[in-house]
A and B are shown apart, each in its own frame.
Chain A
């Protein structure tokens, strides 16, 4: 380059330019997304699509998508005579609770969703519920069972899992009835909101039936090795081993039980055995492991919702995803179903009216009877207890949908 150089930009101006650039970058980050066409009803779904909880997010997404597909196939939701289609807006919060809260806020204020599904699990659902409450957006939590999630006095939060004791009580009942010799109980819980809360409930249920809780241990999240606990369990010779955690924890625990040749008449695990992935990963060791959940594909409810019967739900799910649904996907689907039923009954998208309708709801769905209690948590379910027999989940309670008898002996 020849000739006279152009004078360099004065320094203060350059600094200003850089600041302006940074400001512009910030501003673009703040620009709201282009508003969607108003003929659709937008539901926000913050999910942990990356990070430790990603497998759970997948299930939730399957449930929501199946519902949206069914509704739109039938023409959409009937809002006071006008049919509007459903759109689900997903945001990934990276299994990070603060991000889940941020995602909820973004969905409400930027993406302008009409209603919200909670993030996965009790902790994130609780944290994000504050945002919903502040903005008055009705929110349904498909995966939050601990009563602590609903104890902030909020009016806009509803949940489709009954409290933890509705799982532990029937379990304790069955064991007390079918295995009266069971007296010593060992409990191992992951140090996390749901697994710890339900373990504490189990302790109560067991004690209430005169059983002796000989061990109650918590293990840290990300524990790689349970051999010390296994040795301890062995030393107290329990009749009933109750372990809580997420699927990978429980697979490892079962394996290490086998490694140490620990056997017991009853082994119960929450929340892995309901998933096919657990049965696959645990192999033969899964035999006779019992568990409980809020729904099971063996259920036979006749609902008045877009899916109708439980069998129909199973059929549609199988057709789309080539596998049987478990309670996680069913709960996600029913969350959508409940919004639909509330909107159609209220005849409007007005959030306050929809909220009121949800609060007073009393309906039968493919998922079971739905009535919400004063805290917003569902109170009407009778969670099934089931057991892995011959590599399949078999319901042993309630009697109305029982498929088999409770068996003893886990190797």
Chain B
């Protein structure tokens, strides 16, 4: 199947998801909202991690930044649209600026630095008590909807879903663009890419910025949705690690893979959580280990192997 057809099919599946408010209860909608949120994170991460080849652990930093920037504005009386705009802009600008400095690093160093950014931001949120409530958390007033739990759950689900569509639109367009091609070159051999005229610094920074903007907006939606946030919740390192696992699960490098991986990961996580009270953390770890040892190229490669054995015959 061509990449184009594959992408179209997946986008179609996502569009179908819009029907969820009609068939699901509030818990199903909660899961659906998380699914869309995870998908936004995984697809965004893939831009810097999969396409450009820079292993970023900054997802939590962007998410937390969006949650707090948007959250603070909302708590001071701003509207949701304004909050989304603010967090998106802050994330984009911040990532471009930070990117210039951080993206000079490679491999492990970049990974560690991006992780450290999340830690620093978390502590800054913790200590700026007057602005963010510090360790005591931030109250976010309920948004306009007041039609009961089902209506509110549907509203937030559709909002996160719309964000996912926006993210997919931008990222899929990016894949086919010059920027996308440039990132591929950078991933394979950055010095060579430089030599053939790819402006590596600019392209990398743009990739980093794009990987952050939608995640930050997801953070804002999240904050509005749960009404109360604390720094350790939104700057949680797991928000940096899980998107990576999702992208690996689906197949590194492709947007479709990240999307598939996000949904599959959520399903697995939920099943494991429901059914094993004491060992679900360990099971999650086991899943990651098995995945990395035996399926390093994700579910996509499993399919390729099945396809291969089918074709070769007896």
**A interface residues (Cβ-Cβ under 8 A, vs B):** 1-6, 8-9, 11-12, 14-16, 18-19, 22, 25-26, 28-30, 32-33, 49-50, 90-92, 94, 96-98, 101-102, 105-106, 109-110, 123, 126-127, 130, 134-135, 146, 148, 151-152, 190-193, 195-197, 218, 220-221
Contact = CB atoms under 8 A, between A and B. Distances in A.
Given A192-B135, A221-B135, A105 B26 contact: yes
B280 to A, nearest CB: 7
A3 B126 CA distance: 69
Interface stretch (B40-48, B187-195, B262-270): B262-270
Contact of A191 (B25, B127, B274): B127
Nearest to A193: B136
B27 A29 contact: no
Which secondary structure dominates where chain B touches chain A? helix
Closest 9 CB pairs of A and B: A5-B313, A1-B314, A191-B135, A8-B310, A25-B267, A29-B270, A134-B149, A109-B27, A127-B228
B299 interface: yes
Contacts of B199: none
Contacts of B312: 5
B267 A26 contact: yes
Given A49-B278, A193-B136, A9 B271 contact: no
B1 interface: yes
30 contacts: A1-B314, A2-B314, A5-B310, A5-B311, A5-B312, A14-B303, A18-B303, A19-B260, A25-B268, A26-B266, A26-B267, A29-B271, A33-B274, A92-B277, A92-B278, A92-B280, A102-B34, A105-B26, A109-B25, A109-B26, A110-B27, A126-B228, A135-B26, A148-B139, A151-B139, A191-B134, A196-B134, A218-B134, A220-B126, A221-B135
B177 interface: no
Interface of B: 1, 5-6, 9-10, 13, 24-28, 30-31, 34-35, 123, 126-127, 134-137, 139, 148-149, 152, 226-228, 230, 232-233, 236, 260, 263-264, 266-268, 270-271, 273-274, 277-278, 280-281, 299, 303, 306-307, 310-314
B22 to A, nearest CB: 14
Contacts of B273: 92
Contacts of A19: 9-10, 13, 260
A134 B313 CA distance: 58
A134 B5 contact: no
Contacts of A1: 313-314
B227 A94 contact: no
A2 B195 CA distance: 54
A5 B31 CA distance: 42
A358 B280 CA distance: 36
Contact of A26 (B233, B263, B277, B313): B263
B234 to A, nearest CB: 8
Contact of B1 (A12, A96, A105, A148): A12
Nearest to B314: A1
Nearest to B312: A5
Given A14-B303, A101-B226, A134-B149, A5 B6 contact: no
A115 to B, nearest CB: 17
A221 B232 contact: yes
A148 B227 CA distance: 13
B31 A123 contact: no
A193 B139 CA distance: 12
Contact of B9 (A15, A32, A151, A195): A15
Given A26-B263, A29-B271, A105-B27, A193 B314 contact: no
Contacts of A4: 313
A367 B252 CA distance: 57
A30 B25 CA distance: 9
Contacts, number: 141
A161 to B, nearest CB: 16
B278 A130 contact: no
A12 B228 contact: no
A276 to B, nearest CB: 25
Contact of A18 (B25, B227, B299): B299
Contacts of A90: 277
Given A101-B226, A123-B137, A196-B136, 14 more contacts: A3-B314, A4-B313, A8-B311, A15-B303, A18-B303, A25-B268, A50-B280, A50-B281, A102-B30, A110-B27, A191-B135, A192-B135, A195-B135, A197-B136
Contact of B310 (A9, A33, A102): A9
A148 B313 contact: no
B314 A12 contact: no
A51 to B, nearest CB: 8
A112 to B, nearest CB: 11
A152 B228 CA distance: 10
A134 B278 CA distance: 30
A191 B310 CA distance: 59
Contacts of B126: 191, 220-221
A133 to B, nearest CB: 9
A94 B283 CA distance: 14
Contacts of A191: 126-127, 134-135
A127 B226 contact: yes
Contacts of B267: 22, 25-26, 28-29
A242 B313 CA distance: 76
Nearest to B142: A130
Contacts of A11: 1, 307
- The residue among A22, A126, A195 with the most chain B CB atoms within 10 A of its own CB is A22
A15 B271 CA distance: 23
Contact of A30 (B28, B123, B135, B303): B28
Nearest to B269: A29
- The residue among A6, A49, A109, A126 with the most chain B CB atoms within 10 A of its own CB is A109
Contacts of B278: 49-50, 92
Contacts of B281: 50, 94
